[in-house]
Amino acid sequence: MPPMEQQKLSGRPLVGQAISRLEGYEKVTGAARYSGEFNVKDLLYGYVINSTITKGKIISIDTSKAEAIPGVITVFHHGNRPSLAWFSMQYADMDAPPGTPFRPLQNGEVKYNGQPIALLVADSFETARYAATLVKVVYTTEEFQTDLIGNMAKARAPKGGLATFLKPPPPKPFGDFEKAFEAAPFKATGKFIHGTEHHNPMELFTTTTVYNGKGKLTIYDKTQGTVNCQLYVANVFGLHFKDVRVISPYVGGAFGSGLRPQHQLFFSVMAALELKRNVRVTLDRHQMFTFGHRPPTVQFTRFGATVDGKVTALNHEAIAETSRFEDYTEVVVNWAHMLYPAQNTLFKYNLVPLDVFSPLDMRAPGGSTGLHAIESTMDELAYQLKIDPLELRLINYAERDESTDRPYSSKELRKCYLQGAEQFGWNKRSPEPRSMRNGHKLVGYGMATGIWEAMQLPARAAASITTEGKLKVNSAVTDIGTGTLTVMSQIAADEMGLPLEDVSFTYGDSKMAFAPIQGGSFTISSVGSAVKAACNALKKKILKKAKTMDNSPFKSHKIDEVVFADRKMISIANPSVFISYSDIIAANDHKVIKSVNFAMPKALKLKKYSRAAHSASFVEVEVDEELGTINVTRAVTAVAAGKIINPKTAKSQILGGMVWSISKALREETISDHRFGKYMNMNIAEYHIPVHADIHDLDVIFVEEQDDIVNELGTKGVGEIGLAAMPSAIANAIYHATGKRINQFPIHFDQLL
Amino acid sequence: MHTYESGLKEEMQHQSELSMTINGVPKSRTVKPWVSLLDYLREYLDLTGTKKGCDHGQCGACTVICDGKRILSCLTLAVMKEGSEITTIEGIAKDGELHPLQQAFIDHDAFQCGYCTPGQICSAIGMIAEGKAKTRSEVKELMSGNLCRCGANTNIIDAIMDVQKGAGNE
């Protein structure tokens, strides 16, 4: 266990303190085991075989050569697979978009390039990988389309469905956009092109399925939702919900890729059930490009403003890729009117179904896409108007959310602008493009605004006082590296008045209290609120128990007349009257006291408000004048995200978002060859993400923001907001440095030559 | 009849006795020649601290220290390292006492998901031993074979610089 005493904690409350990750010891010593690291006995290894065509049918699969290899157990494919759930909706997980979920091995139909079409199972990984190359597949091919740009004319409105409740459609138009835009003395327009991106967490997607006999499974899976995967497996394979246990103790990054059950889960479970053996299936790095991705998206903006910089007309339209079988959507065009109170607006969002796998939420989905277009158009408008870009944001500062005609539950964006600008030294910027230099390098300053909705989903938590008088809390939630274990422990410790070492928070197991998928920056607000609710209920049980004791001094006490501190319940009126948790447990016949509670968003109260985290990013770039090479030399992101439970782990979330911003603006892109309908750089040597040498001076500010409405904790989440503003700020800085407005990501040196 | 396939089948049955010292402990067992050092550690010896991120030498997550040098265990066949001394992340802390770099990683929050961490730490220890990296920019350059997707880059370099400084002061 980690030596807790090494952390210097300064009293109460623990919430708000920069506490080091409680799982740090396990992670730096290699003791932390991820889903592919449970080396159970008699393990078989599955290797997925992928289609090499983009669309068509499988005519035949010849497995004879593969099966002749010693150690090969079998090859599963559509022709010999076991019977599976018939209704496609049984494959729908909690994050399934409207449509028909992909069903592996359903039939011989190939819907996209790299589709998993067979699983080879062998007694070693090496044998499985090798023998898989000996499986011969014959196809007939059909015509396909994978190119968004070439198929824009086919764009249509997305279908509605259950999973779209977190993803509202574009806001209704206000006023008369065309007329207002026509009349506006200052205008800025843009066309923004984003390519495909893949999440590429460092850990490969792996499932180790332990066959416990009689249809009972213990599944170690890489996922962002243990209960989501439990539901999926039970539904698809017709198992009892309780016989399926999904465990994800450590998750080696996910960024959205684990929001839906991935292929390796299906294959590992299918093989384990059929062979009645323990089976591990790992998708290799190449195969990590064969499921969800951030969809390529093309956006158009037209903003109009008065001579004094008031934005009067906002138009933002997006056309995005989806698959043929599901209508995956993002919130791309809803942000502009939340940020800028124009009287005339027009927003559109449409999809083009193509022969690709369904896109999937990837860190700041939609937000990082849309805000690039919005904030770079605002930047362009600032140059047209000859107004400082920061000043233009302040002139158009939205005191309320005009898009829904509601006040914000809290909004300290102005502080983000001012504190961020101060820290960065924005006042040293000279307004003209190409006016700042460092030797042979052009220097540019750019800024942009970020926004991300503060959401809360229903979640449960279980809390109990153990026989030793300590606190145990559990939730099925995962910790994908965000610091969930640490922040939940802080919340629980404060609620019960316990030191951190008396609290154990366990998680990542579908057997535990229900938690939704971990994403959208809503985990702290959803599960954190549940932890608080469970602790509050536990306090009431403790008081109730205390009242039943002989000569109890608490008989007349109400719950608001006691406090829970120093491992005891204490009377507020008379602090010499108290009872320790261990004495309470003794009085309870040495039995634990437990409470399991739900926390729900307070819908009636919340619907009167818009709830969002905000940010402002300031970026300095240096561009080599002759070579066009771009370097982000320093950046500041100031964030208003309500209460920050742990400034250390929260800062890391924002830093991560800032590195992702550099990656999005300058590095990462999955490149397709549309002649083959195939991704061409399916590895992390050719799929570029920043390395240490690319990352320089990054600074994070959390501005004070109190929010008594958003949820019990006053938190808004910090997973996405770090990636909201900065990509655009980088593009804007490049414009300031070079005078070239590049609206296509990633921006490469050749575009600047 | 001796065909390519039957020859291959024979070849696949071939096993070698392999002995090496891992984290100070002698380890011997038979292994097929096509097993990478990475898979040997993870799948055969249950030393799962060394991570597989790409299996192609692109990410650095599998970095271990072999005879004092940092190497990519995924690009190394286990049988190539007969008689070698290997240190993996499990062997960095001594008697439960963390190496200063491990403690620095915790203090600087130099990881989030933790999956690249064993590789970052082994690589940094190897790099410090190489004696080449003195400045922050040299450290960044020489650590650039170790990817971090969570974006903990600045914290990782801060942690290494902390230990680097300490080492210089001794």
Give residues with Cβ within 8 angstroms of A732, minimum separation 6.
Answer: A375, A376, A379, A389, A444, A446, A447, A448, A619
Calculated CA dihedral for residues A555, A558, A564, A568, nearest 10 degrees: 0
pLDDT at position A10? 63
Q: Please state, in angstroms and rounded to a whole number, the distance separating the CA atoms of residues A703 and A416.
A: 6
Q: Please state the φ and ψ torsions of residue A247, each to the nearest 5 degrees.
A: -120, 130
A348 and A482 fall within a common domain:
no
A33, A285, A652 member nearest B152 (Cβ): A652
Give residues with Cβ within 8 angstroms of A60, minimum separation 6.
Answer: A136, A137, A138
A249 and A207 fall within a common domain:
yes
pLDDT at position A524? 96
Q: Do A126 and B35 touch (CB under 8 A)?
A: yes
A411 and A466 fall within a common domain:
no
**B-chain residues within 8 Å CB-CB of A37?**
42, 48
In a domain, A8, yes or no: no
Select from B106, B143, B158 the residue whose CB has the most chain A CBs within 10 Å, as the one to mutate to test that interface. Answer: B106
B52, B103, B116 member nearest A204 (Cβ): B52
The CATH number for A131's domain is: 3.90.1170.50
Q: Please state, in angstroms and rounded to a whole number, the distance separating the CA atoms of residues A494 and B2.
A: 74
**A-chain residues within 8 Å CB-CB of B102?**
28-29
Residue A158 is which amino acid?
P
Both tokens of A78, joined, read: 């559509």
The Cα-based distances of A648 to A249, B104, B140, B144 in angstroms read 22, 14, 22, 24
A33, A202, A655 member nearest B147 (Cβ): A202
Q: Is the confidence metric ipTM above 0.90 for this complex?
A: yes
pLDDT at position A4? 45
In a domain, A7, yes or no: no
The Cα-based distances of A741 to A192, A196, A436 in angstroms read 11, 21, 17
Residue of A nearest to B34 (CA): A126
- Region label for B155, one of left (φ > 0), alpha (ψ between -120 and 50) or beta (otherwise): alpha
Give residues with Cβ within 8 angstroms of B136, minimum separation 6.
Answer: B157, B161
pLDDT at position B2? 65
Residue A83, classified by CB atoms within 10 Å of its CB into exposed (0-12), middle (13-18) or buried (19+), is exposed
What three-state secondary structure class fits A636? strand
A415 and A400 fall within a common domain:
yes
End position of a domain, from candidates A284, A315, A338: A284
Confidence of residue B1 (pLDDT cuts 50, 70, 90): low
A205 touching B (Cβ < 8 Å) = no
pLDDT at position A85? 77
Q: Please state, in angstroms and rounded to a whole number, the distance separating the CA atoms of residues B111 and B72.
A: 20
Q: Do A652 and B155 touch (CB under 8 A)?
A: yes
How many structural domains compose chain A?
Answer: 3
A37, A655, A657 member nearest B155 (Cβ): A655
A36, A71, A252 member nearest B114 (Cβ): A252
pLDDT at position B168? 53
A658 touching B (Cβ < 8 Å) = yes
Residue of A nearest to B88 (CA): A30
Q: Do B112 and A656 touch (CB under 8 A)?
A: yes
Q: Which domain holds residue A500?
A: 457-600
Q: Please state, in angstroms and rounded to a whole number, the distance separating the CA atoms of residues A171 and A168.
A: 8
pLDDT at position B152? 98
Cβ density class A487-515: b for 16+ within 10 Å, e for less: bbbbbbbbbbbbebbbbbbebbbbebbbb
Residue of A nearest to B137 (CA): A693
Class of domain B100-169: mainly alpha
End position of a domain, from candidates A551, A570, A600: A600
pLDDT at position B12? 76
What three-state secondary structure class fits A249? coil
Q: Do A252 and B51 touch (CB under 8 A)?
A: yes
Q: What is the pLDDT of residues B104-124, one digit of tens each?
A: 999 999 999 999 999 999 999
pLDDT at B11 over 80: no
pLDDT at position A5? 45
Could you identify the residue written with the tokens 């019990």? Answer: A712
Residue of A nearest to B6 (CA): A69
A69, A481, A692 member nearest B157 (Cβ): A692
HSE-CB at B101 with a 13 A cutoff on CA atoms is 23
Residue of B nearest to A202 (CA): B53
In a domain, A11, yes or no: no
End position of a domain, from candidates A564, A581, A600: A600
Residue of B nearest to A250 (CA): B113
In a domain, A628, yes or no: yes
pLDDT at position A723? 98
A594 and A625 fall within a common domain:
no
A236 and A382 fall within a common domain:
no
Q: What is the pLDDT of residues B128-153, one digit of tens each?
A: 999 988 899 999 999 999 999 999 99
Q: What is the pLDDT of residues A80-127, one digit of tens each?
A: 999 887 777 888 898 999 999 999 999 999 999 999 999 999 999 999
- Which stretches of chain A drop beneath a pLDDT of 70? 1-10, 161-164
Select from A21, A202, A480, A485 the residue whose CB has the most chain B CBs within 10 Å, as the one to mutate to test that interface. Answer: A202
B134 touching A (Cβ < 8 Å) = no
Could you identify the residue written with the tokens 């004495």? Answer: A583
Could you identify the residue written with the tokens 């190449």? Answer: A286
Return the domain boundaries, chain B.
15-90, 100-169
pLDDT at position B96? 86
Assigned fold of B15-90 = Ubiquitin-like (UB roll) (3.10.20)
**A-chain residues within 8 Å CB-CB of B150?**
202, 253, 481, 652, 656
pLDDT at position A9? 65
A543 and A645 fall within a common domain:
no
Q: What is the pLDDT of residues B21-54, one digit of tens each?
A: 999 999 999 999 999 999 999 999 999 999 999 9
B89, B112, B141 member nearest A29 (Cβ): B89
